Amino acid sequence: MKILDSRSDSRAVAELAERRMEPDPDVERRAREIIGRVRSEGDEALTTLTRQLDCRYIDSLGIRVPVRDLERAYGSVRKEFLTALRSAAGNIRRYHRRQVQKSWELRGRGMRLEQRFRPLRRVGIYIPGGKAAYPSTVLMNAIPAVIAGVGEIAMTTPCSSEGRIAPEVLVAAAECGIHEVYRIGGAQAIAALAYGTESIRKVDKITGPGNAYVAAAKRLVFGAVGIDTIAGPTEIVVVADSSADPRLVAADLLAQAEHDELASPICIVTSASLAASIEKAVRDVLASAPRRAIARKAFEGQGIIIVVRRAQDAINIVNLLAPEHCELMVRKARIHAAKVTNAGSIFVGPWSTEALGDYSAGPNHTLPTAGAARFSSPLGVADFMKFTNVIEVSRAGFQRLAAGVETLARVEGLHGHAASIAVRRND
């Protein structure tokens, strides 16, 4: 890992905050081509692309996963998994139920004003797959949608070359009440959800992470449908002082580095000696890590330890970077946590490891990346709802507002607006 001093290397630290997810032109061009094919050819394009990119047996298996396969999947998972999954789901439901927003109204001065909340009618959730299984991502996307009251949830996930979807993913879908599952992935899945095909009806919004082609496709279909976010490589910033155990810091940095060669494991420490201890601990933990090839590339490419003088300096850098995950392994961690204004999730104290948030603590693990925590939030129930303004004005209320509205409309040159007021005033 590279070690920087926050004062002598201030420019390098500032450059970290300028990271952005610039789309790869080749990836975007290919995603655009795939979307065009799906829009014009429908299921035929889905089948052809899936046969070429994922599963050579898609013609015989079909795009949609039969409901009986979801039921049979229970027989292929361990009891411990089902117990853990249901425990996690319970925690996620408990947390997200607190997020439900209710309609409200305001009366007085000749008006009745209302903000009316309603769930989205139909959403699509994308679950990465193929080489790995992510049942936790099913829970994090589906449970807020169910709590919001979404009527229909369609799930897409890539399958293996033999057409297999991990039974754990199918069980997670069934536990959330999802029975509409499709064995397709990539940009073609996003296109099908956004525009519809013969087999898949279009949705109102798409959520869920994916590879570069999925991210590019979500960016391209936005406007035709809503999307949650454009997810970039995962990132963590661990703030540590002399009270922190370097082994715990290294373990949590590894937990993010093993995701992806482009992951950003960053640590901010209050002394050079602690930086050296953590660097050694990272080397030690890497030596036996099952995914060390991936993690090592992440540490070599994006791994950084920043040395600061005070804990407050570390918090200032956290707010500058606006990371996806922020861990605080410092004295008075709760006090410092209150000063963190830009982060997807904040983990307070040495026991609050980020892995708990990924699976079972309750808050959502779909978080803003690449500095987007400056202006956006984790996935939640609100992402699956919309609100409508309702305005009801009495004659007295109209008379109170009319003159001012007519004046403003004429200033803006919108004479039709002014006339719609004047005709009522003169009536």
Active-site positions read: 324-325
- The contacts of residue 130 (CB under 8 Å, 6+ apart) are 54, 158, 159, 160, 185
Q: How far apart are CA 143 and CA 151, in angstroms?
A: 13
Q: How far apart are CA 150 and CA 166, in angstroms?
A: 25
Contact present, 230 and 23 (Cβ < 8 Å): no
Q: How far apart are CA 261 and CA 304, in angstroms?
A: 14
Contact present, 232 and 212 (Cβ < 8 Å): no
Q: How far apart are CA 420 and CA 100, in angstroms?
A: 38
Contact present, 97 and 133 (Cβ < 8 Å): no
User: Which strands sit side by side in the sheet containing 111-119, from one edge to the other?
Assistant: 104-108, 111-119, 385-393
The CA-CA-CA angle for residues 395, 400, 405, to 5°, reads 105
Alpha helices in 129-211 (DSSP H): 135-148, 167-175, 186-195
Token pair 């940095």 is at which residue? 253
- Amino acid occupying residue 306: I
